[in-house]
């Protein structure tokens, strides 16, 4: 029965994603190609002094991204510090400085790492005006950057890649907002709470009293998933019955996380004039997703020991309402996108099973990745794959009619190096600096030894890749982790965006070169296989040495 239920869940998910792939992808292609503005958009353009018909070069586009994000960072920080005087604060005090910085950086960077218990730390005004708003706009920024890179491939001899403000508003108002309204209604029907009731005192079965929090959960839940943001209204995230009441709402939340990232390859294919190119990218993403999900599910179902064998698998950390497969499906979806939401505790997975969510993030979250970031990450890897193929056959590499020269490969290489550098440096510094190491080992790590090392490695992997999930045994609300992880989230988000936009500008400036007999077809199974191999070798194997010190050592012990 368990196997049959797992197969039905997987088949249902695949069917829904297949049904929405074409209409959603085509809609996004039209959305970002249209020259028609809504009336409300024209009013906003006038308010901020933007000419929607004025195209931007890549440096101008980048300045828009950075300026908007800096303003968002400051706004969310100030909102948290002023919480005590805000309406609907629920009597909660101002959020401390270090935690306010970490949280602001987290939500602006589309990470939603939470070093706190949300229902005991954030009032409704901060949740709605600060965190939920950033869930929309940070997701829209990611999609805008991906579209700018796609334009780089599609345009010929152009010095521009679009208009950031137009892309931002369209992504927010025409894509994310309407889908979120529909999704929130579905979640409310499924039992997710949506109110402003504050804390309600109840009497438990044992005769004790307990304060049960309410809140505008459904409206924040839907965009945290649809925008692959992550985080949660409650401390246990999507394992909480107010956030995720039933098995079908859990499956629906998987659909929300995967809908836009899996539809963006269709958008890419439409905008470059070849749907086959979109199918090739989709095939790579789907292949990596299936491999990861299968491995994680097998490792958790085959958990060794008397208790797991009696339970039918490693049930520690799993939600009994969902079972192993619904937990591993959610965990794989969450970490293969940049969502970071959880309906089970990754820290309690088997040693090798817990390594899989970590590996998913180390891949660069490109299968299918976050909204926007997954597509532009995969396209960067495609450029590297084409370059490698060109070296093998002794020809100048080309991708979609654009030559991949020294400038393009340098930008792609720098993009790939950013997150491993942040992950490995952050983990190393946590143990190399004497004062920091003492605090990490005595305050933050509750599981000394190999697993404690894995918890720190997971934290920096999650932060640098803008995921937000955690090995929850780590106490991260400390001066070191609030600062180091906050910096890692900001650098891991915006430095790659610099390289992506520079790459978009370089490609847009080129004319299209005609295909020849030596041109590598980038829509055939051979290229799909090459790109899968490049993704695994270039990204995941970078981390192999440090994995041998953490989850691999623990699993083989």
| Confidence band for 507, pLDDT divided at 50, 70 and 90 | very high
**Torsion on CA atoms 229, 338, 453, 104, rounded to nearest 10:** -30
CA distances to 94, 166, 284 from 343, in Å: 29, 35, 26
Average pLDDT over residues 412-441: 95
pLDDT tens-digit map of 251-287: 999 999 999 999 999 999 999 999 999 999 999 999 9
pLDDT number for residue 432 = 95
CA distance 500 to 153: 12
Residue 80 φ then ψ, to 5°: -70, -40
**Average pLDDT, integer, range 494-523:** 92
Cα torsion angle, 492, 498, 501, 505, sign: negative
In sequence order, the 6+-apart residues with CB closer than 8 A to the CB of 176 are 136, 139, 140, 223, 226, 227
Residue 495 maps to a domain: yes
SS3 content of the chain, % helix, strand, coil (to 5): 70, 5, 30
Predicted confidence at residue 445, as pLDDT, reads 92
CA distance 125 to 327: 31
Tokens encoding 505: 């500008």
What pLDDT does residue 308 have?
59
List of E strands, 44-143: none
Q: At what angle do helices 406-432 and 479-508 cross, to 10 degrees?
A: 180
* pLDDT of residue 394 exceeding 80: no
Q: Would you say residue 319 has pLDDT above 80?
A: no
Per-residue pLDDT band for 305 (boundaries 50, 70, 90) equals low
Does the structure show a pLDDT above 70 at 306? no
What is the arithmetic mean of pLDDT over 340-356? Answer: 90
Q: What DSSP line would sit under 157-190, residue for residue?
A: S-S----HHHHHHHIIIIIIHHHHHHHHHHHHHH
Name the domain count of the chain.
1
Q: What is the pLDDT of residue 313?
A: 65
- Is the pLDDT at 241 greater than 80? The verdict is yes
Positive or negative, the CA dihedral 246, 473, 233, 202 is positive
Whether 81 has a pLDDT exceeding 90, the answer reads yes
Q: Does a structural domain hold residue 473?
A: yes
Is the predicted pLDDT of residue 250 greater than 80, yes or no?
Answer: yes
Q: Which residue has the higher pLDDT, 318 or 275?
A: 275
pLDDT at position 144: 98
Both tokens of 515, joined, read: 């295909």
| 397 lies in some domain | yes
What is the structure's pLDDT at 540? 77
Q: Which helix (H) or strand (E) holds 403?
A: strand 402-403
Helix (H, G, I), strand (E, B) or coil at 419: helix
Mean pLDDT of 287-302: 93
Residues 6+ apart with CB under 8 A from 129: 79
Q: Is residue 408 part of a domain?
A: yes
* DSSP character at residue 521: P
Question: If you average pLDDT over residues 392-415, what whole number do you get?
Answer: 90
267-to-147, 274, 500 alpha-carbon distances in Å: 9, 10, 18
CA 278, 279, 284, 287 torsion-angle sign: positive
Contacts of 367 (CB under 8 A, 6+ apart): 284, 285, 286, 287, 288, 289, 292, 336, 360, 374, 535
> pLDDT band for position 322 (50/70/90)?
confident
**Is 474 inside any structural domain?**
yes
CA distance 369 to 335: 8
Give mean pLDDT, residues 97-121. Answer: 95
Asked if residue 427 is part of any domain, the answer here is yes
Give the model's pLDDT for residue 312.
Answer: 60
For residue 440, give the nearest of 423, 453, 425 by alpha carbon. Answer: 453
Average pLDDT (13-27) is 97
Tens digits of per-residue pLDDT, 205-217? 888 888 888 889 9
Are the C-beta atoms of residues 73 and 105 closer than 8 Å to each other? Answer: yes
Q: Choose from 158-167, 203-212, 320-329, 349-358 the range with maximum mean pLDDT.
A: 158-167
Check residue 304 and give its pLDDT.
63
| Buried/exposed 324-362: b ≥16 CB within 10 Å, e otherwise | bbbbbbbbbbbbbbbbbbbbbbbbbbbbbbbbbbbbbbb
Range of the domain at 388: 381-556
For range 373-391, the mean pLDDT: 94
Q: How many CA atoms lie within 13 A of 395 on its CB side?
A: 14
The whole-model pTM stands at: 0.95
Long-range interactions of 384-392: CB distance < 8 A, separation 24+: 384/409, 384/412, 384/413, 384/416, 384/534, 384/538, 385/527, 385/530, 385/531, 385/534, 386/520, 386/522, 387/412, 388/530, 388/534, 389/520, 389/527, 389/530, 390/520
Q: Of 270, 75, 36, which is closest to residue 169 (Cα–Cα)?
A: 36
Indicate whether 440 belongs to any domain. yes
Three-state DSSP class for 319?
Answer: coil
- Is residue 140 within 8 Å of 172, Cβ to Cβ? yes
**Residue percentage of the chain with pLDDT more than 70:** 98
Paired tokens of 149: 């890179």
Residue 535 has pLDDT above 50, yes or no: yes
Cis peptide before 368 (omega within 30 of 0): yes
User: Tell me, what's the pLDDT at 1?
Assistant: 45
The rounded distance, in Å, linking the Cα atoms of 548 and 350 is: 15
CA distance 232 to 238: 7
Nearest of 42, 39, 30 to residue 165 by alpha carbon:
42
Instruction: Assess contact for 430 and 474: CB atoms under 8 A.
Output: no
For residue range 476-492, list pLDDT tens digits in order.
Answer: 999 999 999 999 999 99
Please state the rounded mean pLDDT for residues 359-373. 94
* 163-185 confidence digits (pLDDT tens): 999 999 999 999 999 999 999 99
Q: Which of 119-128, 152-161, 343-352, 387-396 has the lowest mean pLDDT?
A: 387-396
User: Residue 314: is its pLDDT beyond 80?
Assistant: no
Lowest mean pLDDT among 23-32, 135-144, 515-524: 515-524
In-domain check, residue 99: no
Alpha-carbon distance of 100 to 76, in angstroms, equals: 8
Q: Provide the pairing of β-strand 402-403 with 398-399.
A: antiparallel
């Amino acid at each position: 029965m368990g196997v049959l239920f797992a197969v039905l869940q997987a088949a249902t998910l695949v069917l829904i994603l297949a049904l929405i792939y074409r209409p959603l992808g085509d809609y996004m292609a039209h959305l970002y190609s249209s020259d028609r503005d809504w009336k409300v958009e024209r009013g906003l353009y006038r308010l901020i002094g933007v000419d929607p018909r004025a195209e931007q070069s890549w440096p101008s586009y980048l300045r828009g991204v950075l300026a908007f994000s800096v303003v968002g960072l400051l706004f969310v920080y100030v909102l948290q510090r002023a919480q005590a005087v805000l309406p609907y604060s629920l009597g909660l005090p101002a959020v401390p400085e270090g935690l306010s910085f970490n949280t602001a950086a987290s939500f602006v960077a589309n990470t939603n790492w939470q070093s706190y218990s949300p229902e005991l730390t954030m009032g409704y005004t901060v949740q709605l005006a600060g965190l939920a708003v950033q869930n929309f706009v940070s997701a829209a920024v990611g999609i805008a950057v991906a579209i700018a890179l796609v334009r780089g491939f599609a345009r010929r001899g152009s010095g521009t890649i679009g208009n950031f403000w137009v892309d931002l508003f369209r992504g927010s108002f025409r894509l994310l907002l309407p889908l979120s309204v529909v999704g929130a209604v579905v979640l409310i029907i499924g039992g997710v709470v949506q109110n402003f009731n504050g804390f309600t005192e109840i009497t438990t079965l044992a005769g004790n009293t307990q304060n049960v929090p309410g809140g505008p959960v459904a409206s924040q839940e839907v965009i945290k998933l649809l925008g692959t943001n992550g985080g949660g209204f409650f401390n246990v995230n999507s394992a909480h019955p107010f956030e995720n009441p039933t098995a079908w709402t859990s499956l629906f939340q998987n659909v929300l996380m995967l809908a836009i990232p899996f539809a963006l390859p269709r958008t890419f294919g439409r905008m470059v004039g070849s749907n086959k190119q979109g199918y090739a990218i989709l095939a790579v993403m789907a292949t990596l997703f299936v491999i990861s999900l299968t491995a994680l599910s097998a490792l958790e179902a085959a958990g060794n020991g008397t208790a797991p064998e009696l339970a039918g698998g490693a049930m520690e950390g799993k939600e009994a309402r969902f079972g192993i497969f619904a937990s591993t499906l959610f965990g794989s979806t969450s970490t293969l996108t940049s969502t970071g939401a959880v309906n089970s505790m990754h820290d309690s997975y088997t040693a090798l099973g817990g390594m899989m969510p970590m590996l998913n993030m180390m891949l660069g979250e490109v299968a299918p990745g976050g909204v926007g970031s997954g597509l532009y990450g995969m396209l960067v890897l495609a450029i590297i794959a084409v370059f490698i193929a060109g070296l093998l056959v002794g020809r100048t590499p080309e991708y979609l009619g654009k030559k991949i020269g020294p400038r393009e490969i340098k930008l792609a290489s720098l993009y790939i190096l950013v997150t491993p550098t942040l992950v490995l440096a952050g983990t190393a510094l946590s143990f190399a600096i004497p004062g920091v190491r003492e605090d990490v080992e005595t305050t933050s790590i509750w599981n000394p030894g190999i697993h404690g090392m894995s918890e720190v490695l997971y934290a920096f992997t999650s932060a640098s890749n803008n995921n937000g999930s955690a090995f929850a045994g780590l106490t991260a609300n400390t001066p070191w982790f609030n600062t180091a992880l906050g910096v890692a989230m900001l650098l891991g988000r915006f430095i790659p965006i610099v390289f992506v936009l520079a790459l978009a500008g370089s490609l847009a400036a080129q004319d299209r070169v005609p295909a020849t007999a030596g041109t590598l077809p980038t829509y055939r199974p051979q290229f799909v296989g090459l790109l899968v191999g490049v993704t695994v070798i270039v990204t995941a194997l970078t981390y192999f040495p440090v994995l041998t010190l953490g989850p691999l050592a623990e699993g083989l012990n």
